[in-house]
Amino acid sequence: MSTGSLAMAHLYKIDPPVSMLVVKVESSYFKKATGRTWFTCEDGALFVKAIEETIATGEARTVVARSVGKNKEGEVVAEFFITWSFKVKSRK
């Protein structure tokens, strides 16, 4: 969710419309997640660059976004790498 919601925020009301699709997911788990766990993604600039490039070229662009899950003590419990594909939607 942390990568997808960040990507969607950059696509909100964008013209021309751009589609997004998960094409790969990789993960590592370090500790058992008990209690609340927060996942964060700080790759907004990568999304902006890919979206700008797909609009400029009309070609699909991919981004590998990192999401880190931490428990209430701030310990990393999991790490995900989500590969997103962005492409300008064709107009009919």
Phi, psi of 39 (to 5 degrees): -110, 130
Report the mean per-residue pLDDT for the chain: 94
Across 16-22, average pLDDT: 95
Q: Where are the domains of the chain?
A: 2-88
Tell whether the model's pLDDT for residue 92 goes beyond 80.
Answer: no
Cα→Cα distances 4→49, 66, 88, Å: 16, 11, 17
- Give the fold, CATH level 3, of 2-88: Thiol Ester Dehydrase; Chain A (3.10.129)
The count of other CB atoms within 10 Å of the CB of residue 58 is 11
pLDDT at residue 90, rounded to an integer = 80
What global pTM score does this model have? Answer: 0.88
What digits encode the pLDDT tens for the residues 37-81?
A: 999 999 999 999 999 999 999 999 999 999 999 999 999 999 999
Rounded to whole angstroms, the Cα distance separating 28 from 68 reads: 10
Helix (H, G, I), strand (E, B) or coil at 81: strand
